[in-house]
Amino acid sequence: MLQRPNAFGGKTVLVAGGAGFLGSHLCDALLGLGHHVVCVDSFLTGSFENIAPLQNHPRFSVVRHDICEPLAAMIAPLHQIYNLACPASPPRYQADPIHTMLTSVAGTTNLLKLAVQHQAAFLLASTSEIYGDPEQHPQDESYWGHVNCTGPRACYDEGKRAAEALCFDSLRAGSVDARVVRIFNTYGPRMQPDDGRIVSNLIVQALRGEPLTIFGSGQQTRSFCYVSDLVDGLIRLMNVEPNPGLPINLGNPGEFTIAELAEMVLARVPTRSKIVHRPLPTDDPKRRRPDISRAKELLAWEPKVVLAEGLEHTVAWFSQKIPPAMAVPRRAHRPMAELEHGATRPGDELPHE
């Protein structure tokens, strides 16, 4: 079995997808902990803007590379590898579905080989999408999912399932200290305005004075985790001993309908935007909410930032990038105290985004 590097002192950490929304926040946090960070990114969906503040940091370096291709041998020893390299929003991962699948399968294979060479710990950022349109609610890690393996979302869902299998086979073989996290909807500053995710879509549309698009009835639900909470969970999972040897859900168990999310955005953005409804996309899940019991028990982790607070930070960030289309009074903010603590209203039997 692998011998883990000393848990104290700065490590050299590779972050694949490090210029993306989540990856760039992870790079920030790792540098703050005193580590040396190697950001590997193809920049197909990642952004130089996300890592621009780090360009002159003495412990930060960038390698432009598509992990679908083998990585050249690195001279400096790597202690940890985080694999966050894959488009995570449906419009992005469906734009080139074959490349999306290969990023998860060939890319994870290449990074696992690198982990073997360096005897480095490995963390795969998997996804709640592997649960599909779930028949179990909330979803815990023992649930095998309800998925369409040939539909338009399969390139992402099935790619992540295959990547998980590669990690656990490598762990069982004793070749890689592999860990797997299943990430539920995460939001915050540095999301791309056009990435197609529901939080960024609604905020950007409101700022531009455009209609807020809700697909389906808006009664489908999601659980929204602020990015700082998610990054904290990733780092905890990478460093916890012993290796849990099991996938771990990370997400905020507070459950909101998409219609409620839209109203919360409208309450925070000066806009005359109205809500419009469009047909529900194929295989769009009706309900999604993580069971985070395993993360609480094994990582002593649970999210701290409630949706109302996280939206304030996210709207403020987008407002700097996209000035409001017109100055109008904010909408009256209807009471949502019970929802800020993650509870649905009594009698609500609602689906998901």
| DSSP annotation string for 230-251 | HHHHHHHHHH-SS---S-EEES
Q: Report the relative pairing of strands 60-64 and 80-83 from DSSP bridges.
A: unpaired
Q: What was the pLDDT predicted at 8? A: 39
**Residue reference for tokens 């370096």:** 61
Residue 183, C-beta contacts closer than 8 angstroms, at least 6 positions apart: 22, 125, 126, 127, 128, 225, 230, 250, 251
27 vs 10, residue with greater confidence:
27
Element (H, E) at 264: helix 258-266
Question: Which pair of tokens denotes residue 125?
Answer: 């950022």
Residue 114 has pLDDT above 70, yes or no: yes
Region of poorest pLDDT, from 45-54, 79-88, 281-290: 281-290
> Would you say residue 89 has pLDDT above 90?
no
Output the pLDDT for position 351: 28
**pLDDT band per the 50, 70, 90 thresholds, residue 331:** very low
Segment 57-62 shows an average pLDDT of: 96
Task: For residues 250 and 244, give the distance between their C-alpha atoms in angstroms, rounded to a whole number.
Answer: 14
Residue 283: pLDDT band with limits 50, 70, 90: low
Task: For tokens 């390299």, name the residue.
Answer: 85
pLDDT at residue 295, as a whole number: 98
Q: How far is CA 150 from CA 156, 159, 282, 283, 294, in A?
A: 11, 12, 12, 11, 31
Confidence class of residue 195 from pLDDT cuts 50, 70 and 90? confident
What pLDDT is stored for residue 339 in this prediction?
34
List the catalytic residue out of 82, 93, 131, 156.
156
Residue with tokens 């598509």: 66
Whether the predicted pLDDT of 65 surpasses 60: yes
Q: Is the pLDDT of residue 342 over 60?
A: no
Assign residue 195 a region (left: φ > 0; alpha: ψ between -120 and 50; beta: otherwise). alpha
Q: Let me know if 156 is a catalytic residue.
A: yes
pLDDT-above-70 percentage for the chain: 88
- Cα dihedral value 35, 243, 298, 305, nearest 10: 30
- The pLDDT, as a whole number, for residue 324 is 65
Inform me whether the pLDDT recorded for 227 exceeds 90: yes
What is the model's pLDDT at position 196?
Answer: 84
Each as own residue / partner, the long-range contacts of residues 89-92 (CB below 8 Å, 24 or more positions apart, any chain) are: 89/195, 89/196, 89/197, 90/153, 90/156, 90/196, 90/281, 91/194, 91/195, 91/196, 92/45, 92/195, 92/196
pTM for the model: 0.87
pLDDT, tens only, 152-188: 989 999 999 999 999 999 999 999 999 999 999 999 9
Nearest-angstrom CA–CA distance, 48 and 62: 10
pLDDT of 325: 65
